[in-house]
């Protein structure tokens, strides 16, 4: 009988869906310690993963494993090559959190543009006044880097706010971007020089890690605002902190960090004009349920031999296993 091991609790509706199948057993591991994981991973035919690192060593101990279902879209902490070598699919929840992350990105834009954190602190201290520099989003230019499900939603939301939207994504045809009503950013440096806000919505790959470095920031328009709800490793954090301290970057809204949980010595914690969040963009009640349900549906579909290739990171294993 297939056994599902959930690494940390997921939404009760998803647990109920899994347990509604009489041919499936379910176990929730909480807390997830290395000792407990070593003891239980061998019995698992499927695992749901939120924050846990899934490396080659752990995969090697999972003798019965048939699927890894990632509770989210990022899979930096999963050894995809080791799973592929074993013929094990890794699934993500590509549609589940797009709305929530896109709204979060707009929240960070607004909070940064309107100095929400600074004015909140002043008002709580009964310090009246409005001398902090603020600006409207309407009439500004935003550069959306990454035009997938989240980036596309962010672009539409920015357009609804009256912004000029530039889109940079080498993997999307420029006619697709133009057809959606946005301006393709063929020349990155030119787009950086024009953008009042740069918002990141691309995965962490060999191509994108560290892309927001000193040269990137120097090419940006003076007074630019940077928003990152994608992956912390896209940004050279010391370079961003230096640009913030120098005033070349006027503000930043950061939901993700290179090392998570964020460490006390992270330079961004001491940087000026930042709004910092604990990777919570997808943590709305609705998104958490959607992600959990997507995980459960993918696991049951795998057991039934009908897994949707569009949610699989390594679809070549499906062809190999067919």
- Cβ–Cβ < 8 Å for 274, 251: yes
Those residues whose C-beta lies under 8 Å from the C-beta of residue 224, and which sit 6 or more positions away, are 192, 195, 196, 197, 198, 248, 249, 250
Answer for the pair 234, 211: CB distance below 8 angstroms, yes or no. Answer: yes
Give 167's DSSP letter: E
Annotation says 3 is catalytic: no
Write out the E strands in 274-317.
Answer: 274-276
Produce one character per residue of 25-43: b if its CB has 16 or more CB atoms within 10 Å, e if not.
ebeebeebeeeebeebbee
Pairing of strands 224-228, 249-254: parallel
What's the token pair of residue 176?
């697709």
Whether residue 14 contacts residue 295, with contact meaning beta carbons closer than 8 Å, is answered with yes
316 tagged catalytic: no
**What pLDDT sits at residue 322?**
62
Contacts of 133 (CB under 8 A, 6+ apart): 115, 250
Is the distance from CB of 108 to CB of 225 less than 8 angstroms? Answer: no
d(CA 16, CA 120): 42
Which of 168, 279, 290, 297 is catalytic? The answer is 279
Any catalytic annotation for residue 260?
A: yes
At residue 151, the 3 state secondary structure works out as: helix
Asked if residue 33 lies in contact with residue 7, where contact means CB atoms within 8 angstroms, the answer is no
Identified catalytic residue from 231, 237, 290, 297: 231
For residues 272-297, one letter each, b for 16 or more C-beta atoms within 10 angstroms of the residue's C-beta and e for the rest, the string is ebbbbbebebbbbeebbbbbbbbbbb
Specify the residue for token string 């040269």: 215
Domains of the chain: 3-95+285-321 (3.40.50.720), 98-276 (3.40.50.720)
Tokens of 248: 């070349």
As averages over each run of 10 residues, the pLDDT of the chain (322 residues) reads 96 98 96 93 97 93 97 91 97 94 98 97 95 97 97 98 98 97 97 98 92 98 98 97 98 96 97 97 97 98 96 92 67
User: Locate tokens 């990155």: which residue?
Assistant: 188
**DSSP symbol at 54:** B
Tell me how far apart the alpha carbons of residues 314 and 71 are, in angstroms, rounded to a whole number. Answer: 16
The pTM (predicted TM-score) of the whole model is: 0.92
Residue 307 to residue 222: CA distance in whole angstroms: 48
Nearest-angstrom CA–CA distance, 134 and 92: 38
Neighbours of 228 (CB within 10 A): 24
Closest CA to 102 of 140, 51, 159, 50: 159
């Amino acid at each position: 009988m297939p056994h599902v091991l959930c690494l940390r609790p997921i939404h009760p509706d998803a647990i109920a869906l899994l347990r509604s199948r009489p041919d499936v057993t379910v176990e929730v591991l909480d807390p997830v310690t290395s000792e407990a994981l070593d003891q239980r991973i061998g019995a698992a035919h499927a695992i749901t993963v939120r924050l846990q690192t899934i490396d080659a060593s752990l995969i090697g101990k999972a003798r019965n494993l048939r699927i890894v279902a990632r509770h989210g879209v990022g899979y930096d902490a999963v050894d995809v090559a080791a799973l592929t070598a074993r013929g094990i699919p890794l699934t993500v929840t590509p549609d589940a959190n797009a709305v929530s992350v896109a709204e979060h990105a707009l929240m960070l834009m607004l909070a940064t543009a309107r100095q929400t954190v600074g004015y909140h602190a002043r008002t709580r201290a009964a310090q009246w006044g409005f001398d902090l520099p603020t600006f409207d989003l309407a009439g500004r230019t935003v550069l959306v880097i990454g035009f997938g499900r989240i980036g596309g939603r962010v672009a539409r939301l920015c357009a609804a706010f009256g912004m000029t939207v530039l889109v940079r994504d080498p993997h999307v045809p420029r006619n697709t971007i133009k057809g959606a009503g946005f301006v393709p950013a063929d020349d990155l440096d030119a787009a950086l020089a024009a953008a009042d806000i740069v918002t990141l919505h691309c995965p962490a790959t060999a191509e994108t890690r560290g892309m927001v470095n000193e040269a990137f920031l120097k090419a940006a328009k003076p007074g630019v605002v940077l928003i990152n709800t994608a992956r912390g490793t896209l940004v050279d954090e010391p370079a961003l902190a230096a640009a913030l301290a120098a005033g070349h970057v006027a503000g930043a809204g950061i939901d993700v960090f290179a090392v998570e949980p964020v460490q006390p010595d992270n330079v961004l914690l001491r940087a000026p004009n930042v709004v910092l969040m604990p990777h919570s963009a997808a943590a709305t009640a609705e998104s958490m349920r959607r992600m959990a349900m997507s995980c459960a549906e993918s696991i049951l579909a795998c057991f039934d031999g009908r897994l949707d290739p569009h949610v699989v990171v390594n679809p070549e294993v499906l062809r190999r296993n067919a």
